[in-house]
Structure 1
Amino acid sequence: MNFRPLILGHRGMGTGEGENSLLSLIRAVQVGADGVELDVQLSKDGVLVVNHDSSLKRTLGVDVEIKDTTFRSLRKMKLVRPDGITTLERVYLELPEESFINVEIKDPLAADLVVPLVKSFNAIDRTLFSSFWHECLRKVKEKDEKAKIGLLIGEDARGKNPVEYFEELLAYHPYSINLPVQLFDEIGFELGMSLIRFVRAKGVKVALWTLNDPALLIKIRGEVDIIITDNLRGIMAALGGKGERR
C-alpha cells in the first residue's frame, strides 16, 4: 500500500497573505490537503476567532486586540469576511465533513469553549486540539476524554534531557507530539529521527511543523504521521497524490 502521512495546510494555504482566512482554508482542501491547521483566539464576547496573532495588525493592518474587542465590533469594522477573519464555527460549517482540523489554541481561555463547539458538529474524531499551553489541553480532555490533544514543542524544550522531557509529556496521554522541523538543524538529523522514533514507539503520533521541503519529506516518509506545511502544492506533488493514509 502507498501509505502516507496526514497532510495539513498550515493556516490554510500557508503563512502570509490570507493566512487563516476562510478562503485560504477552503483552498487548502481543494488543492488536496487532508485538512488544515488553524489558530483560535477568543473575542471579548466569547467568540472563537480564527487568527494566529492576538492582534490583527500584521494580518489585516488594523491595530485591534481580539480579546479586547467584541465580535460584533469586528463585523462593524468589516473585518469578518472570506478573505479576512472568520470563526471556528464557520470553518466547520464550510469545510468538507471529512476534513481533518488541527485547532491550535492560542488563548488558554478558549480551552473551555472549543470542545463543545466541535462536538456540536460531531467532529471530535477528526479534530486535533494543540497548544504550547500544555495545561490547557487537560481542560480539553476533561470536556471529552476522546478528544485528541497534540502537545506543541517549542523553545521550552531547549537544554532539557530529551528522554526525561518527553517522558513528562507522555503523562498527558497525547494523541500526538507536534515537533518543529527546526529540530533537525538544532540537534542533527540522526538524533532528531531517534527522538521521533522514541515518541512513536510509545504509541504517540508525531506531527512535524512547518515542513516545506519536499526533499526532506521524502527522506523521512514513513517516519512521521502528520505533516503541517506552508508549501502545500510542493508537498502534494512530492507525494504523487493522495494515496492511502495509515
Structure 2
Amino acid sequence: MSAGQPGAGGPVDVAPRPLAVAHRGDPYRFRENTLPSVAAALAAGADAVEVDVQLTRDGVPVLLHDPTLKRLWGLDRPVRALTAEKLAAQRFADGQRVPALAEALGLLADHPDARLMIDLDEPAPATAAWRAVSEAGAEDRVLFCGPAAAMFAVRELAPEVPLALTWKQPGVPVAALLADLRPRYLNPPFGLVDRALVERAADAGLAVSTWTVDRRSTMRRMRAAGVASLTSNRIGLLRSVLGPVGGH
C-alpha cells in the first residue's frame, strides 16, 4: 500500500519518526496515573501520555489502572465503592491523590502539540470519559486505546476520534471488524511486532502502535520495523532514542 492510500482506518499517517507515548505518565519518577506523573511526561517531550480510566461510585472518570486502590495506593477498596468527592479527599503518604480525568486534560493547555491516550479496558467508562473530554473542549487532543468492545463503545459516541485497537493475537484483525470500528492504529504488544506485521497492517489501512517498550535496543528494533507509535515507562530514554520533538 502506498502512503496515504485509504483502508479500513483511513489514510495511514506517515511521520518522520514514531510518536513517543508515555505509559501512565513518567512512572519511574512519580507514581503512575497522577498529575505529577502526567506533567513530568509532558515536560519530557511526550507526544502523548497514556492514562487509564476507572469510574467512581457516582460515575466520575478518574485515573487508575486497577479496579481497586490496593496495588497503587495501598487501600483495599474498589474505586467504585467511593464517590469522587471522597476519593479526592483521600490523601496518601506522599501527599498524592487519585486525580479526575478532567484534571489531566487540563494539563494539556501548556502543551499544545501533545495528547492524552485514554486507555479503556471495558466499555463502561466510555460515556463518562467522552463527556469529560467534550466538557474540556479537548475532542482534538485525545485518542483512545483498548480492546474491541471498549473501542466500539467509544466509536458510537465519537465517530471521528482516533482509536488504537489493542490486539494481543498474531496477525491483523479481520476486515469486517476493521470496517466497523475504523481504528487508526493496530496496538499489539511489542513481542508480536515485526516488519511483516507492520506491512500487513499498512495493507489494511492501519499504522502500528506498540507497548510497553523500555529497553533501548527494543525501541530501536521497533523503530526499524516501521511502527508509528511507541509507548514506554521511560519517556526520557524513548525521547533520546527517537530524537527531539520535531526532529527527523
TM range (shorter): 0.7 to 0.9
Match of 1:173 in 2: 182
Distance 1:149 1:122, change over 3 A: same
User: Alignment partner for residue 127 of structure 1, among 142, 160, 164?
Assistant: 142
Alpha-carbon distance in structure 1 between the residues aligned to 2:228 and 2:136: 25
Match of 1:237 in 2: 240
Q: CA RMSD in A?
A: 2.4
Alpha-carbon distance in structure 1 between the residues aligned to 2:151 and 2:70: 28
Q: Number of residues paired by the alignment?
A: 230
Alpha-carbon distance in structure 1 between the residues aligned to 2:217 and 2:209: 17
Shift of 1:149: 1.5
SS in 1 for 2:51: strand
Unaligned runs of 5+ in 1: 185-191
Conserved 8 A contact 2:30-2:37: no
Match of 2:167 in 1: 153
Alpha-carbon distance in structure 2 between the residues aligned to 1:75 and 1:123: 23
Conserved 8 A contact 1:41-1:106: no
Conserved 8 A contact 1:23-1:82: no
* TM-score of the two chains, using structure 1 as the length reference: 0.84
Q: Does 1:227 align with 2:239?
A: no
- Paired amino acid for 1:49: V
User: Alignment partner for residue 53 of structure 1, among 66, 80, 86?
Assistant: 66
Conserved 8 A contact 2:166-2:188: yes
Alpha-carbon distance in structure 2 between the residues aligned to 1:4 and 1:231: 17
Match of 2:40 in 1: 27
* TM-score of the two chains, using structure 2 as the length reference: 0.83
User: Alignment partner for residue 200 of structure 2, among 182, 198, 201?
Assistant: 198
Shift of 1:98: 2.9
Q: Deviations over 1:198-229 (max 9, x none)?
A: 11232212111011122232233261111110
Q: Deviations over 1:215-246 (max 9, x none)?
A: 2322332611111101111111122322347x
Alpha-carbon distance in structure 2 between the residues aligned to 1:41 and 1:74: 12
Q: Does 1:99 align with 2:114?
A: yes
Q: Does 1:41 align with 2:44?
A: no
